[in-house]
Structure 1
Amino acid sequence: MTVPDVIIIGAMKCATSTLAAQLGAQDGVFLTQPKEPNFFSDDDIYAKGAEWYGALFEGAGAGDIKLEASTHYSKRPTYPHTIARLQASGARPKLIYIVRDPVDRLVSHYIHEWTQGVIPCGLDEAVQSFPELIEYSLYGKQITPWIDAFGADAILLLTMEDMTKDPQVVLSRVGSFIGHDNLEWFTTLGRVNASSERIKRFPFHRILFDNKIAQTLRRSFVPKSLRDALKAKRQMQARPVLSADIRAGLRDIFAADGRILAGHFPRETAIEDLYSKGSI
């Protein structure tokens, strides 16, 4: 089967879409559409078969670096078969794993799921009721089976904080890793898939709110004051904050996992900054 040369495997809400868009805009790099096929992780997508997956790369030119970016690949235990399926394909891709302050990632994950209507409760309750919020921030635990399968040399660890501070430096590191010189960060692309409005979605949201005809009718017949009031009721007014007790518990959990991550990547000084200066 046709397989990728490079995969961005996560983590969720760590600017993976932004990095994928930057790479996809470079000459000599081919990014799948959708950029996040989740082929090796999701059972229903995997059931579409190797030909379906291979067709995602049909537009790649000779010599292009074939890229996909699926954050489901670092969402264990939700998707337990990802690595075995990738190994069975015969692929030996280079893997990029982007992380960020684990608490910040957890909160952004919560906001995303709240807007999608998946998590209906407050942040503290969600941390205790939805274990994936913590699991996907356990970067050491998530990356260990990837290292066991493909080796640490096959994995480039990046932090979102470094990419925000100096994106060109980070992109150059990526270029050296994937074997593509002179990558250029395009400031015109901006951030991709960044949650800002924090609007709760519901069934038929796309039809009622994203549809251009519906938007025109709404603006023509519904007073702006009423539209604003209805929007405010569906909007998270401020970024939620964890209680002191919940934060203290997470601090111990994430610090222990951070030591695992540092053990895998002893030369990555950014890991220490991630766990010593961040919100934990």
Structure 2
Amino acid sequence: MSRIPNFLHLGPGKSGSTWLHETLSLHPQAYLSEAKDLYYFSRFYDRGTQWYLAQFAGAGDQPVVGEVCPDYLAEPLAPQRVHDTLGPDVRLMVSLRDPVDRAFSSYLYAAKHGAAAPTFRETAMARPELIDEGRYGTQLLAFARLYPAAQIHVSVFDDLQASPQNYLDEVTSWLEIDRFEIPAAQLEATLPASKARFVPVARVAQVGADWVRKHDGARVIGRVKRSSLVQRVLYTPLGDARPTITEDDAAWVRENLAGEVDTVEREFGLDLTSRWGWT
């Protein structure tokens, strides 16, 4: 029998969602959907509630049942869809990353799959979602209109980078489940920044993955993404060769999103501008 989820990680992307999914999946008091990124409340809402709840058929009596998907925070229709499907008591979590770093990380991801223009700025102009996914203030307020502050946990990606255990401790405390000691292997980044060994092959793999996902193969995609063999064959870690955003482009992103960061600070009591060096 399927359980109704009572926990959602909403996003944004490139902010530790894969790590959180893999780590919480190990917790004996939590059941997460086998496939990360179900995209139900964004891309696949037409599949219906029965399909969605079937993704949690394996849940037992764990106190926490839910999913991690980076698309939901930026999807304008998601807040009402979540409320209509899961009701008023579901707990919602986000992990905010400096929008400059998050946008550039998304650009690198697009580039390794052959889906980016020659420069970050050109890519952002052609794909506005690179910037729009950082409109945290607008996005969070849309959920806050339907859910009280106590049900929205706003974490900061910097804290995950600084101390994964402390970061997880805050999450489990908020979820009201036992503290969980992170296994040593899980302390490393689940999917570190990388580049394609051969871009056309990586592009074909990405297109194929999208096709499989559209045909209800999210579980298969989840297993493939977790395969260290697949990652080694398709990609090589960037390591010290990781490109960095230019100061002009960083300033351009800040100019576009300063108001959004101000809104989060004002409405959710976080000091982000100084933490992210925006002042």
TM-score for the superposition, normalised by structure 2: 0.79
- Once the two structures are overlaid, the 10-residue window that deviates more, 52-61 or 187-196, is 187-196
Matches within 5 A, 1:248-267: 248-266=251-269
The 2-side partners of 1:184 and 1:90 are apart by: 30
Shift in Å, 1:115: 1.8
Within 2, Cα distance between the matches of 1:237 and 1:166? 21
- Note closer, same or farther for the CA distance 1:149–1:247 as it changes in structure 2 (3 Å cut): same
For 2:164, the aligned partner's letter is P
Contact 1:97–1:158 (Cα < 8 Å) also in 2 = yes
Bigger Rg, which one? 1
- Aligned residue for 1:161, secondary structure, equals helix
Q: 1:247 aligned to 2:246?
A: no
What secondary structure, in the 3-state scheme, does the structure 2 residue paired with 1:62 have?
Answer: coil
Percent of paired sites with the same residue: 24
DSSP 3-state at the match of 1:97? strand
Superposed CA deviations along residues 70-105 of structure 1, whole A, max 9, x for unmatched, are 111012xxx332122111114331111001111111
1:117-196 equivalent positions in 2, closer than 5 A: 117-189=114-186, 190-196=188-194
Equivalent residues in 2 for 1:1-280, closer than 5 Å: 2-42=3-43, 45-75=44-74, 79-91=75-87, 92-189=89-186, 190-199=188-197, 200=199, 201-203=202-204, 238-266=241-269, 268-269=270-271, 271-275=272-276, 277=277
Q: Distance in 2 between matches of 1:152 and 1:16?
A: 21
Q: How much is the aligned-residue C-alpha RMSD, in angstroms?
A: 2.9
SS for the counterpart of 1:48 is helix
Greater Cα offset, 243-252 or 6-15:
243-252
Unpaired runs of at least 5, structure 2: 209-223, 230-234
8 Å CA contact retained: 2:33, 2:67 = yes
Q: Secondary structure at the match of 2:105?
A: helix
- In the alignment, the residues of structure 1 paired with residue 249 and residue 207 of structure 2 have an alpha-carbon distance, to the nearest angstrom, of 35
TM-aligned CA deviation for residue 186 of structure 1: 2.1
User: Could you say if the C-alpha distance between residues 147 and 240 of structure 1 is closer, same or farther in structure 2, counting changes exceeding 3 Å?
Assistant: same
Unaligned runs of 5+ in 1: 216-230
- Asked whether the 8 Å contact 1:8–1:70 carries over to 2, the reply is yes
Task: Give 1:248 shift.
Answer: 2.5
Task: Report deviation, 1:274.
Answer: 3.4
* Conserved? CA contact 1:97–1:157, under 8 Å: yes
Using the alignment, how far apart are the partners of 2:206 and 2:40 within structure 1?
27
Q: CA–CA distance in 2 between the matches of 1:177 and 1:194?
A: 27
The 8 Å contact of residues 198 and 236 in structure 1, kept in 2 or not, is answered as no
Query: CA–CA distance in 1 between the matches of 2:10 and 2:205?
Result: 31
